[in-house]
Structure 1
Amino acid sequence: MTRPFLRRPEALLGGAILLALILIAGFAPLIAPGDPLAIAGRPLIPPFTDAGLPLGTDRLGRDLLAELIHGARTSVAVGLSAALVAVFAGMTVGTAAGFAGGAIEAALMRIVDAFQIVPGFLLALAFVSVAGPSLWVVVLAIALGAWTGPARLARARVLSLRESDFVAAAKVMGMSPAEIAFRQIMPLALPPVLAVASVIVAAAVLTEAALSFLGLGDPNSVTWGAMIAEGRNQLRSAAYLSIIPGIALVLTVISTYLVGEALTDSLTGRDKR
């Protein structure tokens, strides 16, 4: 799997950007120590005019580079956490539905259908509006709209595996249905779900930015969406306030997509064509 992945220049470029982003997010307190929302200088210093403030300041005099770095931490945390919750929930429901069959499968898949009818962003918007904005509420809100895809993929894979010889052997050995489903079959159903995990991460980053732009993000965390919203009132005089976090957001989503496409091709063998 790694050789086809490493032969794709777009995958290497996306992976390099993502690795840099993860390192920046992980070492944010060391790269930009202190409170990123603290006043660092006079308001609206343009980028590249002050050596101590390379990206300038916002309308309140806060260091834009420090906000950008800590915003990366929020985006990475939300994207990965939402993807993990969505994949775990989807795998659990999809595996249970595919292995149980009958009325249990029908009931679980109707729940999947009900969630899939509602657009993910509207579901997240409603959930955060009711539960209140916080980082973990945002993660759960995004996962609520993202777990249905993994559930359908897991169910389809389990349906093709449940009649296999190793399942029959496990039944003869006296293993319970739950053990067979979640210990024997679920790991084999995981690869196709992991292939779409990158799409969930990218969508989660965008959804979190959109919620923050609307003022529904965690008020105690720096987010790129809030930075873009903060700068929209100065688009004519200081457009960089929105452009810089916007570029960071675009690069993150595109690099995640490129890595995800390469991983999907490697897992499905499409690179062999």
Structure 2
Amino acid sequence: MEKMKKICKTIKGDRQLLAGMIGIVILLALVILAPVVASENPHHYGKDILNSLGQNGHLLGTNHMGQDIYSMIIYGVRTSLRVAVISALISGVLGVLIGGVAGFFGGKVDTFVSELINVFMMLPSFFLILLIIALFGNSITNVMVVIGITTWPSNAKLMRAQALSLRQRTFVKSAEAMGETKLQILFKYILPNGIFPVIANTTMGMSNAILTEAGLSFLGLGDPSIISWGQMIYTGKQYITSAWWISAFAGIAIVITVLVFYLLGDGLNHVLNPKHLNRGAN
């Protein structure tokens, strides 16, 4: 309870985290209330082609297919948050398990995993993603999985460092003396106590996932069956001089969403930092 009080007190005093949390709440509200908030079905092709802002009741205009830009922006939140959350979960779970095992067991296991992490970090991840998408298809599921399995090394390095430190702690040594198995110690003591830096890093990694998905869509490698901000920029670039709103508002939406996740991740990094909590207790 005392630790939770410290965390709550730190949250109130951290403006970045508060701003990030408010932004996430707004984004989640848009995801849930998209059918209500959006003025039209974003998949509907109307007769109002390339309407400017406010023309014929279209708040942010329409594209070359007559789709309402405002509605597409609202529904694009769903795509971005789904990519961010699922890819981050995959990256976080892989990183925690692989890094935790390496740091706790040490020896040859640690050496092998460390070399594996170095190999993955040396590879140009974006081009690896392009290669996998080209081989296995550009469905949104493939995009999320590929982003997740190419971004786990940073989480694994953080978890490994935490495990190396935690395995020397008194409570871990006591658990070993009491006869608990290594797997029990790993899942009961090492992973739960070392996961906090990974949570902060994974949250910040969500912004990179959104940018990656937008980049793939901009290159024409995104899923054509969904509403994507990157895809909107891609289709609107040929009309940039005559209908700038098609690409501009999608780009602004990406910037704002990435900023929200960055603020949330940076704020969590402050709150979950033990040194910061200890300073707040003084």
TM-score range, shorter chain: over 0.9
Greater alpha carbon shift after TM alignment, 41-50 vs 5-14: 5-14
Q: Which runs of 5+ in 2 are unaligned?
A: 1-6
Q: Distance in 2 between matches of 1:215 and 1:159?
A: 43
Identity of aligned residues (%): 33
Q: 1:190 aligns with which of 195, 199, 202?
A: 195
Match of 1:45 among 35, 51, 54: 51
Residue number among 4, 13, 33 corresponding to 1:7 in the alignment: 13
Residue type of the alignment partner of 2:44: A
Q: How much has 1:119 moved relative to structure 2?
A: 2.6
User: Bigger shift: 253-262 or 89-98?
Assistant: 253-262
1:16 aligns with 2:22: yes
Contact kept in structure 1, 2:60 and 2:70, CA below 8 Å? yes
Question: What is the number of equivalent residue pairs in this alignment?
Answer: 272
Distance (Å, rounded) in 1 between the aligned partners of 2:185 and 2:66: 59
Query: Secondary structure at the residue paired with 1:36?
Result: coil
Which of 223, 230, 236 is equivalent to 1:225? Answer: 230
Once the two structures are superposed, the pairs formed by residues 166-205 of structure 1 within 5 Å of their partners are 166-205=171-210
Runs of 4+, deviation exceeding 6 Å? none
C-alpha distance after superposition, 1:111-153 (max 9, x if no partner): 1111111132222222211111011111111112210011000
Give the Cα–Cα distance (whole angstroms) in 2 for the partners of residues 45 and 78 of structure 1: 30
- The two structures, once aligned, show a CA RMSD in angstroms of 1.8
Unaligned runs of 5+ in 1: none
Deviates more, 1:72-81 or 1:171-180: 171-180
Map of 1:57 onto structure 2: 62
Would you say 1:76 and 2:81 are equivalent positions? yes
- Equivalent of residue 221 in structure 2, options 201, 213, 216: 216
Native 8 Å contact 2:204 2:264 kept in 1: no
TM-score by structure 1 length? 0.93
CA contact (8 A) 2:16 2:266 kept: no
Given that residues 91 and 155 in structure 2 are in contact (C-alpha distance below 8 angstroms), is that contact kept between their aligned partners in structure 1? Answer: yes
Residue among 243, 252, 256 paired with 2:257:
252
State how far apart, in whole Å, the 2-side matches of 1:114 and 1:209 are.
26
1:32 pairs with one of 38, 42, 46: 38
Give the deviation of 1:14 after TM superposition: 3.2
Match of 2:100 in 1: 95
Cα distance in structure 2, aligned partners of 1:152 and 1:27: 38
1:235–1:242 CA contact under 8 A, matched in 2: yes
Alpha-carbon distance, 1:63 to partner:
1.3
Question: What secondary structure does 2:56 align onto?
Answer: coil
Distance 1:177 1:38 in 2: 57
**Partners of 1:97 and 1:104 within 8 A in 2:** yes
Q: Distance in 2 between the 1:119 and 1:2 partners?
A: 40
Whichever residue aligns with residue 207 of structure 1, its letter is: T
CA shift, 1:230, in A, is: 0.7
Q: How does 1:77-156 map to 2 (within 5 A)?
A: 77-156=82-161
Alignment partners' CA distance in 2, 1:11 and 1:190? 19
The answer to whether 1:264 aligns with 2:235 is no
Q: What is the TM-score normalised by the length of structure 2?
A: 0.90
Give, in angstroms, the shift of residue 195 of structure 1: 1.5
